[in-house]
A and B are shown apart, each in its own frame.
Chain A
Amino acid sequence: KCLFHTEGLFKPEKKKKKNFDMKNAVIGNNRQKANLIVLGAVPRLLYLLQQSSSSLELRTECAVVLGSLSMGTENNIKSLVDCHIIPALLQGLLCSDLIFIEACLRCLRTIFISPVTPVQLLYTDPTVIPHLMSLLSRSQHTQEYITQIFAHCCKTPEHQTVLFNHGAIQNIAPLLISPSYKVRMQALKCFSVLAYENAQVSMTLVNVLVDGEQLSQVFVRMMQRDKPIEMQLTAAKCLTYMCRAGAIRTDDNCIVLKTLPCLVRMCSKERLLEERVEGAETLAYLMEPDIELQRIASVTDHLVSMLADYFKYPSSVSAITDIKRLDHDLKHAHELRQAAFKLYASLGSNDEDIRKKITETENMMDRIVSGLSESSIKVRLAAVRCLHSLSRSVQQLRTSFHDHAVWKPLMKLLQNAPDEVLVMASSTLCNLLLEFSPSKEPILESGVIELLCSLTQSDSPALRVNGIWALMNMAFQADQKVKVEIVQALGTEQLFRLLSDPDTNVLMKTLGLLRNLLSTRPHIDQIMSSHGKQIMQAVTLILEGEHSIEVKEQTLCILANIADGNTAKELIMTNDDMLQKIKYYMGHSNVKLQLAATFCISNLIWNEEDGSQERQDKLREMGFVDILHKLTQASDPNLCDRAKTAMQQYLA
Chain B
Amino acid sequence: MEKSYWVFIERTRVILTFMLAYKYASLQCSIAIFDVKNTYKTSEELILAIHLLQQDLQPLLAGLTFKELFTLLTLGAGSLLTGDPAFNYQEHELNERLKRLYPAVNEEETPLPRSWSPKDKYSYIGLSQNNLRVHYKGHGKNHKDAASVRATHPIPAACGIYYFEVKIVSKGRDGYMGIGLSAQGDNMNRLPGWDKHSYGYHGDDGHSFCSSGTGQPYGPTFTTGDVIGCCVNLINNTCFYTKNGHSLGNKLSALSFCPCLSFQPNLYPTVGLQTPGEIVDANFGQQPFVFDIEDYMSEWRAKIHSMIARFPIGERLGDWQAVLQNMVSSYLVHHGYCATAMTFARATETMIQEDQTSIKNRQRIQKLVLAGRVGEAIDATQQLYPGLLEHDPNLLFMLKCRQFVEMVNGTDSEVRCFSARSPKSQDSYPGSPNLSPRHGATNAHLHNTGADSPTCSNGVTPTNKNKSHNKYTGVSSASASSSPSSSPSSVNYSESNSTDSTKSQPHSATSNQETSDSEMEIEAEHYSNGVTESSTRIMNGTYKHQEILQADDNSVDDSCSSRQLCGGNQAATERMIQFGRELQALSEQLCRQYGKNATHKKMLQDAFSLLAYSDPWNCPVGQQLDPMQREAICSALNSAILESQNLPKQPPLMLALGQATECVQLMAKVRSGSCSFARVDNFLH
Residues in chain A within 8 A of chain B (CB atoms): 224-226, 256-258, 261, 268-269, 296, 299-306, 308-309, 361-362
Contacts and interface: CB of A to CB of B under 8 A. Distances in A.
Given A308-B253, A361-B255, A362-B254, A301 B299 contact: no
Given A257-B292, A305-B256, A306-B253, A226 B298 contact: yes
B302 A301 contact: no
A226 B301 CA distance: 8
B269 interface: no
Interface string B249-293: 101011110000000000000000000000000000000000010
B85 interface: no
Contacts of B172: none
Interface string B383-404: 0000000000000000000000
14 contacts: A224-B295, A225-B298, A225-B299, A226-B299, A226-B301, A226-B302, A299-B248, A301-B248, A302-B249, A302-B256, A303-B249, A308-B254, A309-B253, A362-B254
A305 B253 contact: yes
B246 A299 contact: yes
Interface string B228-247: 00000000000000010111
A258 B302 CA distance: 19
A303 B253 CA distance: 11
B296 interface: yes
Contact of A302 (B255, B298, B299): B255
B140 interface: no
Given A301-B251, A306-B251, 17 more contacts: A224-B298, A225-B296, A225-B299, A226-B299, A226-B302, A269-B251, A299-B220, A300-B246, A300-B249, A301-B249, A302-B253, A302-B256, A303-B249, A306-B253, A308-B254, A362-B254, A362-B255
B302 A225 contact: yes
List the 4 shortest-distance A-B pairs measured between CB atoms, nearest first.
A225-B299, A301-B249, A226-B302, A226-B298
A300 B301 contact: no
A299 B201 CA distance: 14
Which of A258, A261, A304, A306 is packed against the most chain B CB atoms within 10 Å?
A261
Contacts of A269: 251
Contacts of A299: 219-220, 243, 246, 248
Nearest to B245: A257
A366 B512 CA distance: 76
B163 to A, nearest CB: 14
A296 B246 contact: yes
Nearest to B292: A257
Contacts of A308: 253-254
Contacts of B249: 300-303, 306
A301 B301 contact: no
Given A225-B299, A257-B245, A300-B246, A268 B251 contact: yes
A300 B254 contact: no
A238 to B, nearest CB: 18
A256 B244 CA distance: 10
A258 B291 CA distance: 10
Contacts of A305: 253-256
A351 to B, nearest CB: 12
Contacts of B246: 257, 261, 296, 299-300
A249 B248 CA distance: 23
A226 to B, nearest CB: 4
A226 B292 CA distance: 13
A306 B256 CA distance: 9
Interface residues of B, number: 20
Contacts of A300: 246-249
A224 B302 CA distance: 11
Which of B245, B249, B299 is packed against the most chain A CB atoms within 10 Å?
B249
A119 to B, nearest CB: 36
Nearest to B291: A257
Contacts of A256: 245
A258 B296 CA distance: 12
A362 B253 CA distance: 10
A257 B291 CA distance: 8
A256 B245 CA distance: 9
Contacts of B301: 226
Contacts of B256: 302, 305
A311 to B, nearest CB: 13
Given A224-B295, A225-B296, A225-B298, A302 B254 contact: no
Contacts of A301: 247-249, 251
B21 to A, nearest CB: 27
Contacts of B251: 268-269, 301-302, 306
Contacts of A362: 254-255
Which of A257, A296, A299, A362 is packed against the most chain B CB atoms within 10 Å?
A299
A156 B308 CA distance: 45
A304 B253 CA distance: 11
A226 B254 CA distance: 29
Nearest to A357: B255
Which of B219, B253, B299 is packed against the most chain A CB atoms within 10 Å?
B253
A547 to B, nearest CB: 46
Nearest to A362: B254
A450 B222 CA distance: 51
Contacts of A361: 255
A234 to B, nearest CB: 17
Contacts of B248: 299-302
Contacts of A261: 246-247
Nearest to B295: A225
Nearest to B297: A225
Which of A224, A296, A302, A308 is packed against the most chain B CB atoms within 10 Å?
A302
B103 to A, nearest CB: 16
Contacts of A225: 295-296, 298-299, 302
A210 B578 CA distance: 73
A362 B255 CA distance: 9
Nearest to A260: B246
Contacts of A309: 253
Contacts of A303: 249
Which of B220, B295, B299 is packed against the most chain A CB atoms within 10 Å?
B295
Contacts of A224: 295, 298
Contacts of B220: 299
B490 to A, nearest CB: 37
A306 B258 CA distance: 14
Interface string B622-633: 000000000000
B417 to A, nearest CB: 59
A254 to B, nearest CB: 12
Nearest to A295: B220
Contacts of B302: 225-226
A304 B248 CA distance: 11
A413 B149 CA distance: 59
Nearest to B247: A301
B248 to A, nearest CB: 6
A269 B219 CA distance: 19
Nearest to A297: B246
A111 B429 CA distance: 69
Nearest to B219: A299
Contacts of A302: 248-249, 251, 253, 255-256
Nearest to A296: B246
Contacts of A268: 251
A268 B302 CA distance: 18
Contacts of A226: 298-299, 301-302
Contacts of B299: 225-226
Contacts of A257: 245-246, 292
Nearest to B220: A299
A300 B251 CA distance: 11
A364 to B, nearest CB: 11
Interface in B396-416: none
Contacts of B253: 302, 305-306, 308-309
Nearest to A353: B220
A312 to B, nearest CB: 11
B637 to A, nearest CB: 46
Nearest to B305: A226
